[in-house]
Every structure is written in C-alpha cells, then in structure tokens.
Chains A and B, each alone.
Chain A
Amino acid sequence: MKKTMKPSFTWRNITESRLFFPLVALSLILLFDFIFIPGFFTIENREGNLHGSLIDIFRNGSTVMLLAIGMTLVIATGGVDLSVGATMAIAASVAGILMNPSALRNEVFFVTDPTYTFQPLGVVIAAALFVAILCGLWNGVLVAYMRIQPMVATLILMISGRGIAQLITNGLRVQITYRPYAYIGQGWIVLPFSLYIVAFVFLVTWLMTRKTAIGMFIESVGINFRSSFFSGIDEKRIKLLVYTFCGFCAGIAGLVASSNIKTSDANNIGLTTELDAILAVVIGGTSMAGGRFSLLASMVGALVMQAITQSMYAIGVPAFALQAIKAVVVILVILLYSEQVRGFVRRISAPKKEV
C-alpha cells in the first residue's frame, strides 16, 4: 500500500506550501532592510538580553500576532471579527481600573509607587480576560445563533466597544504604574517577555486545533456548513467557540498593549489593529471565504505587517505617510499571493520537464 504521508521536498511541494509565499514576502522586506538600513540586523547583548531592530519586529508584532491567532480561526469558519481592537481597549480598561480605581472617583490620580495596585495581578488579568471572553461570546451568539452576518455583527462591538471601554474608566485615561504589570509588555528574559506569551498561546491553539478534531471541524464548517451539519457537526457551537476564543486572544493582546504604553487609553489601544490582524491572516494564505488555515503562516503574515511598519520608520518615512506606504506593500504582497501570479511564477520557475 502507498504511504501518502511522507513529505517530499520537491520544488512544487515547496511552492505549494502555505508558508512559501508569506516567507518570500518576509524575506523580500528583510532583504530591503539589509540593503538600505545599516545595522538593521545588528543584535546587541545588553545584560544578557537581546536587543535590536529584528527583536523589535517580534516585540511590536506580538499584539498583531496574538490577534492573528484568534482571527485565523474566525476567518477559517468563513467569518471575520472586526471588534478585536475594541475588545483590546475594553480589556485594557478593565485591567487599568482594577489597578488604579481613582478614575471612578472622577479624578486623575498619578500613582508614583510602582508597587501599588488596588487588586492583585492575578485578579486583574483574570477579570480583563473574562470580560474579553464575554465580548467574544457576544459576537459568537450574534453570528452563530442570531445568524447575523459576521461583518455586521462584529461591527456592533467595534463601534460600541471603545465607548464601553471609556465608560469603564469614567472617560479618563488610567495611568498604569504597577511594575509587575508593566513586565507583560516590557519585560525581557533574553527575548521580550511578550514573545513567550505569543509562543504559549500559539502552541496551545495549535495543539487544540491540530491534535484534536476541532481544526478539522472548523475547516469543514468554513468550507461547507451544510455538509458539516449533515455530518453531525454542531456548526453553531464551533462558531461560538472560535469567536469566543478570538475575544480571549484580543484580551491578551489588550493586556500586552496597555502594559507597553503604561496607560489604558481607550481611544488608541488597538486602533485599526483588527485590519492588521485580518491582513496578517490573508497574507498567511487563509481564504476570507473560509476553509483551510495555517496558524504558522498567519504568524509569518503578522511579522510581514510589522516588518513593513518597522522598515518604513527606520528609513524615515513619517508616521502620517506610513499607512499609504503600507498599503502599497500590502498590495504587492497580495499580488504575489494571487492564483494568477502564482501560476505565472510556477511556470517560469519550475524546472523544465524532460520530454
């Protein structure tokens, strides 16, 4: 009997791999950096911790990577979650208010003591993530049980979420000075601490989707929900699960982001990151129509997004022009990814067949 599992490293297999094009895109950007930005690849060793532009790409990309993990699963079911940025803000507000509740008394109170917190760190994190999960659950119920189109359903929270985040903090920005909390986004154990969080969430998600049947169910629902229903898969519950999980990921991203800037800024935390996350997933090759997904490819996609941003800053593109430049690069990447272009690349690069 044929063994079909053996991977073979032919040229075709490599170009067909989901990771191929995202990696090509990333390499091109890094090649650009290598040529035009001196010292981009320099990595310094400061007191045992590694610093440098490359490390920064990973560190600053950690929020988008976290979002992309949840977003991949949502998109694989044929949906989309526009509310992750708002959910980040809500989680950050919950965390902020629990560490520094002065805003509730309508006063801006600058805590100077880095060891002061109103609630212990465990409670702060648990509460923030719990609220983020509720946000995801809300989206899931709307999409799976109310049958509202995902884009519309999540738009509701996207719009109202920042309002909710401001309500929580009484409309004020909450300063976060509690040092252990700052460690989430700013800590360093050889590599930035946030990377370990990303790695952990990634690993758990990968195990959950690829070592249980959930991954297959998600793909099946995304490709053909009717067939899945007739096969006994509870399609609604799968959708509820992925939106809830996406909310959870957004919650973690919110913690990392707020810890990074030491405030819970309801207006700016996670602003437009939902779009970065969606693009990361698309660059990673998951179809917006749902179906096959690759978490790893989405991670590379997130790094592509961050590498673009970082490179543009490094060569001195002003912040206001960044979005435009980013758009151009994203178009190039997506073009690289399109079936037509792929077929073209395959034709010109495939070794000639022996006749």
Chain B
Amino acid sequence: MAESSQDILVMEGISKAFPGVQALDNVSLTLKRGEILCLVGENGAGKSTLMKVLTGVERPDSGRITLDGREIQAKSPQHAQELGISTVYQEINLCTNLSVAENILLGREPHKWSRIDWPAMYDLASDTLRRLLGVEIDVTKPLGSYTVAIQQMVAIARALYIASAKILILDEPTSSLDVTETAQLFKVMKKLKDDGVGIVFITHFIGQVYEISDRITVLRNGKLVGTYETGSITRVGLISNMIGRSLAEFDEMSKTKLESGKHIKSEALLQARGVGLTGSIQPFDLDLHAGEVVGMAGLLGSGRTETAHILFGAEKPDAGSISVNGDVIVDSSPLASIKHGIALCPEDRKAAGIVDELTVRENIVLAMQASKGWLKYLSLPEQYELAEKYIELLNIVTPSADQPVKNLSGGNQQKVILARWLATNPQVLILDEPTRGIDVGAKAEIQKLVLSLAEEGKACIFISSELEEVLRTSHRIVVLREREKVAEFAGEVDEKTIIHAIAGSES
C-alpha cells in the first residue's frame, strides 16, 4: 500500500486474538487528512477492538500503525492522546455537576496568584469552543444543564484542547441524540474536517453514514470486507456487506406482517381510557388487539417512553383507567401489570433493563419469579431449563447460562431482557427502543420475533426512533407529539404522512 502524504493514519495487517476468538484478522485501514471515515460492521465485527488497538487499550498481536509517517504503538489512552489520537466515547466521561469551562480545562486551568483565574478560564473555554467547534454557549453553567449533544461537543472540545488532536475517534456519538442534535454534531464534525482533522466515526445508523462520511470501511467477523467511497456503494450493498447476507429477510418480513395481520382479533385486549399524568403525558385513549403490533412514532421527548411507563405501571397515572381483558388494573405498579400480563422492555437497557452482575439465567427468571412471589422459588434445574429454552429460542450467544449478563454484547443483552418478559408469558408486550444500539442482524431478528409473537396472539407496542423500522413492523401506528397522542394510522401509510404528523405540519 503506497503511503501518500495525504494519509494521516495507516494501520496495516492488524491482528488480535482473545482467548477463543480471533477479534481482528489482518485488518488494514487508512485515514486521510481532513476526512470523515465511517467504520461500520455488526456487533463483534471488530470495530471497537480495532479502535482499542489504535488508542493503546489493547496491544495488537501483529501489524503496523503509522501516524503522520512515523510508526507508533500507543501504550495507553493517555499516550495515544499525547500522540494526537483523541477518543470521545458513547457514554460521556465528564462531570455534569461542574461548569462547561471546568470540564474543558480540568487540570489545565489558567492560574493567577496561584489561584484559578476564573475570568481568564471562562474566556479561554468559550474561545476554545468557538474557535474549534464554532459553538457559542454559556460556559459558566453546569454541563448537566445542557443537552447530551452539547455535552458530547464539550467532550470533543476537551479532547481537542488537551492534545491538539490529529485524529478524532467518535464511538457511536449519535446513539442518544435526536435529529436536531445530530445535525448540530455533524456541523461540528464538518468544521473539524475542514480544519484538517481526520475523523473516524463509528455508528449503527446507516442514514448518518451516508449523510456525513467520505469513505466507509466495513468490517465483518474481525476481517476487513472493504473500504468504499461513500458515493460508490448503495445502502443495500453496504448492508449486505455488513451482515454478509442479502436483504431478502427484510422483504420476507413485510410478507409475514401482512400474513400476521389477518390474525388480529376484533375485541380489544388492552383498553386505556383517558389515561394521563400531569406534566408527563396528556390523557389518551388506546386499544390494543390480540395479534396486533402497534408502532409508536414521535421525536425524542414526545412522550413515547412516558406512555410506555404509564401503561406498564412504572409511573402511576393520575387520570383514566387501564384494563386488560376487561379487568381493570386498580393499583398500578409493575408487579400488578406483570400479573395482568403486561410486559415492558424499557428503553435504557443498562440502567433499567439488565442486572449486569447476575447471570443470564437469573436475568431471565427475574420477572417471572417476582410475579410468582419469593416463596414459590423455581428450583435450579427448572431455572436452567427455562434459561436454556430461551437461549435456544432467541438465539442468545453466550458461553453458558451462568455467564454474567454484563459479558454479553448489546444485542444479546436485549434478547435476554426479551427472554425475561417472554418467560412471564405476557399478553401485552411493550418494547421501548428494543433495537437501539444493536447491529443490523440482531435488529432484523428482533423485528421478526415481534411479528411472530403477534401471530401467536400477543399484542405488541413497538416504539422506535427509526421510522422505517416502525413502518416495517407495525399494523397500526400511533403518533405522539409534545406529550400528546396526535394521530393514529391503520393500514398502509407512507413515511411522508407520518413525518408530517410527527412534525405537526399540514401536508
């Protein structure tokens, strides 16, 4: 491979093996000055391992890394930073209770009379933000008072300030951002690109790949599939490259959906009448029928999650009533809902879903055990039987049922949570962003699973930020806007109609 002076980073023939896995197998990557390179691939493709090798978290077994024409091997993330390689992770590692300025300059505060010179510090911080990122905010306010997108940018500013970075690695920065916030971030990325910084952008959102990147590097199972100019490869081609199979499965899904649509019962399984909570969601009516998937669309903060929480009893509504099969839920709580056959896969998998140190088996039996009460303890063989059943059924990849769930990949953790709820044999299954942050293959599996569950006679609510996904899986779509249910569409609708409903504009 010829090194041109344009190449700021060249990684050649990188291999890395972990016990039992060849995480990287002879992978090469080049990054040019002033370029945004998207690194895509399913979970376990080796994206993070490759970046860990680059930033000194892991040592490669073989291979060569050249930065600016000089061969390097980062010993630690700090060392990598000194070399000019900065990383901003998905979870922001900043102190939300400190001011923006402190976060950017922590450890490098300007001093005067051996005290921190606050005015100078604020000037320096806002100047850094303006100069590097073109962002103007009040740097004296605590970081926590800003949106995740701004926090993300402050993290970038800190990374750029501490070491004048030549390379910036953004590891799924957009996974918790909404559309406008993402646009904001992209603006900053473009500015950095113009300043000559090389950016490696890791994301699961295919749309964003096309929106921002110059080139795309695809990894699969630790091997390099190829690097493409963004304009030269179609979405379908890219996804096929990522998952190594065609998109026929997705087409199949539309058929399954039509097929399963025939089984929808006419009488309502779950009825919500005038259910609402002041300050959370306006009173709404909702009917769910057995065999039906109802999609819920709306922007972040439109009240999707709140609706899910209220239906599940995680938050008590202050108006209206919810009934399952005509049986009104009196004192609403998660336990009462579970007993009535309602299940909720919450949005935030880490904070409200998995219990990370418990094993896969314990995570799966948890909700079922809670609904049975503490006395009717499932014996260990029963627990293993149940766990093994769902591990097989949902195709959960784990060495054993005794593996702590924190060691599993995101997609598999999500499946464990699904298994937890399926074990309670629910009639109504509410899925809040079940496909967030998981790879394309697992997404398809989960969507298929939702449809097959509906076919078995369960009612599902499917909440997702990805409209495409909602359209693909739902028989009916409910649209929320500004904490209010604003529209409901049954049958075939096109994306445009729904986007108009979400945006609240007249078509």
Chain A residues at the B interface, C-beta cutoff of 8 Å: 1-2, 4-5, 211-214, 216-217, 219-220, 223-224, 226-234, 291-292
Contacts of A213 in B (CB 8 A): 369-370, 372-378
Contact of B388 among A1, A211, A231, A234 (CB under 8 A): A1
**Assuming the A-B contacts A211-B377, A213-B369, are A232 and B354 also in contact, with contact meaning beta carbons closer than 8 angstroms in the complex?**
no
A221 (CB) vs chain B CBs: closest residue: B355
Contacts of A216 in B (CB 8 A): 358, 362, 365-366, 369
* Most B CB within 10 A of own CB, among A211, A220, A228, A230: A230
Chain B residues at the A interface, C-beta cutoff of 8 Å: 312, 314, 333-335, 337-338, 344, 346, 351-358, 362, 365-367, 369-378, 380, 384, 388, 400-402, 420
A2 touches B369 (CB 8 A): no
A2 to B361 Cα, complex, angstroms: 14
Given A5-B384, A219-B355, A232-B367, 14 more A-B residue pairs with CB atoms under 8 Å apart are: A216-B362, A216-B369, A217-B370, A223-B355, A227-B352, A227-B355, A228-B366, A229-B314, A230-B314, A231-B355, A232-B333, A232-B334, A233-B366, A291-B357
Contacts of B401 in A (CB 8 A): 4
B335 touches A223 (CB 8 A): no
B346 (CB) vs chain A CBs: closest residue: A230
A217 (CB) vs chain B CBs: closest residue: B374
A230 to B354 Cα, complex, angstroms: 10
B338 touches A2 (CB 8 A): no
Contact of B358 among A2, A219, A230, A232 (CB under 8 A): A219
Contacts of B372 in A (CB 8 A): 213
B359 (CB) vs chain A CBs: closest residue: A4
A292 touches B357 (CB 8 A): yes
B361 (CB) vs chain A CBs: closest residue: A4
Closest 8 CB pairs of A and B: A232-B370, A232-B335, A231-B367, A213-B374, A4-B400, A232-B338, A226-B352, A232-B334
User: Whole-angstrom distance from the CB of B336 to the nearest CB of chain A?
Assistant: 9
A2 touches B400 (CB 8 A): yes
B356 touches A223 (CB 8 A): yes
List 23 A-B residue pairs with CB atoms under 8 Å apart, sorted by A's residue number. A4-B402, A5-B384, A211-B377, A212-B374, A212-B377, A213-B373, A213-B374, A213-B377, A216-B366, A216-B369, A219-B362, A223-B355, A223-B357, A223-B358, A226-B351, A227-B354, A228-B355, A228-B366, A230-B314, A230-B352, A230-B353, A232-B371, A291-B357
Contacts of A5 in B (CB 8 A): 380, 384
User: Whole-angstrom distance from the CB of B455 to the nearest CB of chain A?
Assistant: 26
B367 (CB) vs chain A CBs: closest residue: A231
Contacts of B351 in A (CB 8 A): 224, 226-227
Contacts of A1 in B (CB 8 A): 388
User: Whole-angstrom distance from the CB of B49 to the nearest CB of chain A?
Assistant: 21
User: Whole-angstrom distance from the CB of B384 to the nearest CB of chain A?
Assistant: 7
B354 touches A229 (CB 8 A): no
**Assuming the A-B contacts A4-B402, A213-B374, A224-B354, are A229 and B334 also in contact, with contact meaning beta carbons closer than 8 angstroms in the complex?**
yes
Contact of A220 among B337, B355, B384, B402 (CB under 8 A): B355
A224 touches B356 (CB 8 A): yes
* Most A CB within 10 A of own CB, among B312, B351, B366, B375: B366
A231 to B314 Cα, complex, angstroms: 10
User: Whole-angstrom distance from the CB of B29 to the nearest CB of chain A?
Assistant: 30
A228 to B352 Cα, complex, angstroms: 8
User: Whole-angstrom distance from the CB of A16 to the nearest CB of chain B?
Assistant: 12
B314 touches A214 (CB 8 A): no
A220 touches B335 (CB 8 A): no
Contacts of A223 in B (CB 8 A): 355-358
User: Whole-angstrom distance from the CB of A209 to the nearest CB of chain B?
Assistant: 10
User: Whole-angstrom distance from the CB of A69 to the nearest CB of chain B?
Assistant: 18
Contacts of B365 in A (CB 8 A): 216
User: Whole-angstrom distance from the CB of B342 to the nearest CB of chain A?
Assistant: 10
B388 (CB) vs chain A CBs: closest residue: A1
A2 to B335 Cα, complex, angstroms: 33
Contacts of B378 in A (CB 8 A): 213
Contacts of B374 in A (CB 8 A): 212-214, 217
Contacts of A291 in B (CB 8 A): 357
Contacts of B388 in A (CB 8 A): 1
User: Whole-angstrom distance from the CB of B480 to the nearest CB of chain A?
Assistant: 21
User: Whole-angstrom distance from the CB of B429 to the nearest CB of chain A?
Assistant: 14
User: Whole-angstrom distance from the CB of B353 to the nearest CB of chain A?
Assistant: 6
Contacts of B352 in A (CB 8 A): 224, 226-227, 229-230
**Assuming the A-B contacts A2-B400, A4-B401, A211-B377, are A234 and B358 also in contact, with contact meaning beta carbons closer than 8 angstroms in the complex?**
no
A315 to B358 Cα, complex, angstroms: 44
User: Whole-angstrom distance from the CB of A208 to the nearest CB of chain B?
Assistant: 9
Contacts of A226 in B (CB 8 A): 351-352
Contacts of B371 in A (CB 8 A): 232
Contacts of A233 in B (CB 8 A): 335, 366, 370
User: Whole-angstrom distance from the CB of B55 to the nearest CB of chain A?
Assistant: 22
A212 to B378 Cα, complex, angstroms: 8
**Assuming the A-B contacts A213-B374, A227-B355, are A4 and B366 also in contact, with contact meaning beta carbons closer than 8 angstroms in the complex?**
no
Contacts of B335 in A (CB 8 A): 232-234
User: Whole-angstrom distance from the CB of A153 to the nearest CB of chain B?
Assistant: 24
A291 to B312 Cα, complex, angstroms: 26
**Assuming the A-B contacts A213-B374, A216-B369, A217-B374, are A230 and B334 also in contact, with contact meaning beta carbons closer than 8 angstroms in the complex?**
yes
User: Whole-angstrom distance from the CB of A244 to the nearest CB of chain B?
Assistant: 15
A71 to B374 Cα, complex, angstroms: 21
* Most A CB within 10 A of own CB, among B337, B370, B372: B370
A101 to B346 Cα, complex, angstroms: 59
**Assuming the A-B contacts A227-B352, A230-B314, A232-B371, are A4 and B334 also in contact, with contact meaning beta carbons closer than 8 angstroms in the complex?**
no
B365 (CB) vs chain A CBs: closest residue: A216
A220 (CB) vs chain B CBs: closest residue: B355
